[in-house]
Structure formats: C-alpha cells, structure tokens
Amino acid sequence: MQVTLTFEPNTIQAAHILERILEILGGNLAKDDPEPMAPSSSAMGEELALRLRGRTEQMVRFAVEHGGQVWNDELAAVLGFSGHPAKTAAILGEVTVQLRNVGVGTGRQRGGDADAPWYQKLRSDGRTLLRIRPDVLGVFQGAVAAKQ
C-alpha cells in the first residue's frame, strides 16, 4: 500500500518541517544548537502579499504610506466606509488572520504567553489612532514592495 500526502506549507511551517527532517536525518541542527533564525520581515511580507486582496491590500498600503500610524476614520474613508469607521474592524480582523497565517504574532495566541497585539488603538479628541507595531510595519512594507 502506498500513501501520498500533499500539502502547501507556509514559510514558517516549511522552516519547521525542514528543521525536523534535518534533525531526524542527523543533520547539523542538534538539540543544543541555537534556534534557527526566524524568517525575515521581507520573506513574511512576500508571503503576506500573496494573501492580500481588495480592502486588505488597501489597508496595508495606507498603513505603510502613513508610517504605521493611521486615523481610523481616514482608513474608513479610504476603504469606502466614510462615516462608518467601526466597519474597519472587519478588515483589521481579516489582516489579523493573514498575519497569523504567515507567522506574525498578533496578540491572540491560545495557551502560553500572548505577544503584543499587532496594533494599538489610541483615543484622542473623539478619534482613534491605530498604531502598528514596528515589526508588523516591516512585514507590511515587504508586502507592498512585493506587490509592485
């Protein structure tokens, strides 16, 4: 009997699979070796670029253009939600899922310690400023560069 398994791992999964294979085959990744380097922001950005479509891509571009700090009402206007800034939550949620899929911590891991959320909401004068974590902004910049 022959069994064939086919799947398409993302960059993070592929790195872990390769590490495990090398360990099993007696490669140079011994247990006492330091952890392998995490994928770069540009590599994760390239993978994220493949996943972005429509409004998620618009949101990422807008965030990069504004240096990782955007007013939610301005983001809403760019996304076509003028007068309804609360509707950006759905797009932010979609981006959260895509970031998780490429291996970026989003502050919502189950079990163990959760890392910092990928953006902060800061209220000021009745408006909300979204401030994106610097490492996530680097991933966004890689995604925008890959889309060009």
Cα–Cα dist 77/101, whole Å: 27
Helix (H, G, I), strand (E, B) or coil at 87: helix
Cβ-contact 75, 130 below 8 angstroms: yes
pLDDT tens string, the chain, 148 residues long: the values are 666 666 666 666 666 666 666 666 665 545 555 555 556 667 788 888 888 899 999 999 999 999 999 999 999 999 999 888 889 999 999 999 898 888 888 776 555 445 678 999 999 999 999 999 998 999 999 999 888 8
pLDDT of residue 90: 92
Tell me the whole-structure pTM to 2 decimals.
Answer: 0.69
Q: Report all structural domains of the chain as residue ranges with CATH numbers, in order of start.
A: 41-147 (1.10.10)
Orientation of helix 88-101 relative to helix 54-65, angle to 10°:
90
Distance of CA 43 to the CA centre of its chain: 11
Q: Could you tell me the two tokens for 16?
A: 């872990």
Cα–Cα dist 38/44, whole Å: 10
Cα–Cα dist 40/134, whole Å: 13
pLDDT of residue 70: 94
